[in-house]
Amino acid sequence: AVANVMTTGTFTIPLMMRTGYRPAFSGAVEAVASTGGQLMPPIMGAAAFVMAEFLGVSYLTVAAFALLPAVLYYVAVFMAVHFEAKRIGLVGLPKADLPRLREVIVERGHL
């Protein structure tokens, strides 16, 4: 989770602040979203392997049962960000600031 914040937070937090979110809220969203990576299959961290071994089931079974709670976790994060945006009157980035989809796919599609 910390590595996710360090790598993706360097561009998502400034982008959120440029859009109008408070710095503390931007950092909190990045931390919560990155922590969710430990819950979302197939990554899930080492705990999923321990659970599979302890319960005597396959890792795939543990991952399948973890999918719904992980999706609900991210839905809750989305709702928190959406309602905060509505509360403070934010709108999306202007179309002029968004890169063209075709250019992104051609230039960086391999990433």
pLDDT per residue as tens digits for the range 62-77: 999 999 999 999 999 9
The predicted pLDDT at position 109 comes to: 82
| pLDDT (0 to 100) of residue 99 | 87
What pLDDT is stored for residue 41 in this prediction?
Answer: 84
pLDDT at residue 1 tops 80: no
Q: What is the 3-state secondary structure (H, E, C) of the chain?
A: CHHHHHHHHHHHHHHHHHHCCCHHHHHHHHHHHHHHHHCCCCCCCHHHHHHHHHHCCCHHHHHHHHHHHHHHHHHHHHHHHHHHHHHHCCCCCCHHHCCCHHHHHHHHCCC
Q: What is the mean pLDDT of the chain?
A: 91
